[in-house]
């Protein structure tokens, strides 16, 4: 009796899986390259039509023609356009350092703030949206909708200033602007770029408390805004599912309400909820400029804002590329989560 080869049956499947993986990896690399090229090109072209002279910003409007021309040559603006494009990502006029090092230094602060805010928004927003959908038309539903509407309507910079006035200036419950107190600024070794996590890893408990006290207020402001969006979208998605026939049939069979709500109805919208949370996180990465400005949070948003006021176009495009890369990887991460939570996609 002849025995089948142990690899004969699995060989075609393994080759197909490897081919699919290679195809997906290649597609992701091409998508990332095209995204970066498009970001750099668009930002470069916009920078060339903005009525701001970066040379004047650097040397001042009282500089001599010789000093102006010398600075112009030093910045590479006397070169052809294609040469300027190749040299676009260079040294920051604002800080005098490489743009890459500046953005890598600023981005962890924004990431830390966005992660904390998204966690707050998701933990509060998803249950609030489910509750509003289950109790549609009742007092709890109206309450969630009113809270969400306020979160949509109030400007985030106004919320930040009011929160600073109340909780920092008047009550003294939290620390003020900044990421960590000056007394602890150089006592925490930078391992991960997240000040709170670095303080905990180093066992600097006083510094960790100080960092948390600085983080909690801006994170709650952004978390409230994201919670409003997540709750509103979750409510809409759940209302649609709760009206489906399979939910009515499950209730008629006596299936517990919690099982019907969370396993059946919410299980069918979890992919959409992941998309909503991912979009919220992406928005916080690129839209926290006003919050970072109000709280003097040294993140990528504040860095780009200061670069715009300084006409530091190299810094602007560097920050834009970092945010663009984040969007690409967030989309890829969302795709992976889809496969985990929805077997049909696998």
Do 300 and 106 form a contact (C-beta atoms < 8 A)? yes
The DSSP 8-state label assigned to residue 345 in this structure reads T
Do 36 and 321 form a contact (C-beta atoms < 8 A)? yes
Question: Mapping DSSP to helix (H, G, I), strand (E, B) and coil, where does residue 326 land?
Answer: helix
Alpha carbon distance, N-terminus to C-terminus of the chain? 37
User: Does the pLDDT of residue 69 top 90, yes or no?
Assistant: no
Burial of 43 (0-12, 13-18, 19+ CB in 10 A): buried
pLDDT-derived band at 3, boundaries 50, 70, 90? very low
Nearest to 75 by CA among 51, 59, 60, 63: 59
Write down the pLDDT at residue 17.
63
Residue 145 to residue 48: CA distance in whole angstroms: 45
User: How many residues belong to the chain?
Assistant: 346
Write down the pLDDT at residue 345.
62
Residue 30 to residue 33: CA distance in whole angstroms: 5
Enter the pTM of the model.
0.80
**165-195 tens-digit pLDDT:** 999 999 989 998 888 888 888 888 878 888 9
Residue 222 to residue 255: CA distance in whole angstroms: 38
R_g of the chain, CA atoms, integer Å: 26
Number of neighbours of residue 253 by Cβ within 10 angstroms: 8
User: Does the pLDDT of residue 303 top 80, yes or no?
Assistant: yes
User: Does the pLDDT of residue 102 top 90, yes or no?
Assistant: no
Residues in Cβ contact with 55 at an 8 Å cutoff, skipping those fewer than 6 apart: 68, 71, 72, 75, 77
User: Does the pLDDT of residue 7 top 50, yes or no?
Assistant: no
φ/ψ (deg, to 5) at 268: -85, -10
Alpha carbon distances (Å) from 306 to 84, 93, 290, 300, 311? 22, 11, 12, 10, 9
Domains of the chain: 18-86 (no CATH), 99-341 (1.10.3720.10)
Structure tokens at 12: 């075609």
Nearest to 59 by CA among 92, 93, 88: 93
Write down the pLDDT at residue 153.
86
User: Does the pLDDT of residue 83 top 60, yes or no?
Assistant: yes
The DSSP 8-state label assigned to residue 66 in this structure reads H
């Amino acid at each position: 009796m002849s025995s089948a080869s142990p690899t004969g049956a699995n060989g075609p499947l393994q080759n197909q899986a490897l081919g699919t993986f290679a195809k997906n990896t290649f597609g992701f690399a091409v998508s990332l390259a095209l995204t970066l090229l498009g970001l750099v090109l668009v930002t470069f072209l916009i920078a060339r039509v903005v009525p701001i002279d970066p040379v004047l910003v650097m040397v001042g409007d009282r500089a001599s023609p010789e000093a102006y021309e010398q600075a112009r040559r030093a910045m590479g603006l006397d070169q052809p356009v294609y040469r300027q494009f190749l040299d676009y990502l260079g040294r920051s006029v604002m800080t005098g350092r490489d743009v890459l090092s500046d953005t890598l230094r600023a981005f962890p602060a924004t990431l830390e703030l966005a992660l904390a805010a998204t966690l707050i928004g998701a933990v509060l927003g998803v249950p609030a949206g489910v509750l509003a959908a289950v109790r549609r038309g009742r007092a709890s539903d109206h309450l969630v909708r009113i809270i969400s509407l306020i979160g949509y309507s109030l400007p985030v910079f106004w919320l930040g200033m009011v929160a600073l006035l109340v909780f920092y200036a008047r009550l003294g419950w939290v620390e003020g602007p900044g990421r960590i107190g000056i007394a602890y600024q150089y006592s925490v070794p930078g391992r991960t770029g997240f000040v709170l996590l670095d303080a905990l890893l180093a066992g600097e408990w006083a510094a960790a408390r100080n960092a948390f006290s600085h983080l909690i207020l801006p994170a709650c402001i952004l978390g409230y805004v994201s919670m409003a969006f997540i709750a509103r979208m979750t409510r809409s998605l759940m209302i649609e599912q709760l009206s489906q026939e399979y939910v009515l049939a499950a209730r008629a069979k006596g299936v517990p309400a919690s099982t019907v709500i969370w396993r059946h109805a919410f299980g069918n919208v979890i992919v959409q909820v992941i998309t909503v949370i991912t979009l919220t996180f992406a928005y916080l990465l690129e839209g926290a400029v006003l919050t970072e400005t109000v709280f003097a949070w040294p993140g990528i948003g504040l860095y780009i804002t200061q670069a715009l006021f300084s006409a530091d176009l190299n810094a602007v495009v560097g920050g834009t590329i970092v945010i663009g890369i984040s969007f690409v990887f967030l989309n890829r991460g969302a795709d992976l989560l889809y496969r985990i939570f929805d077997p049909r996609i696998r």
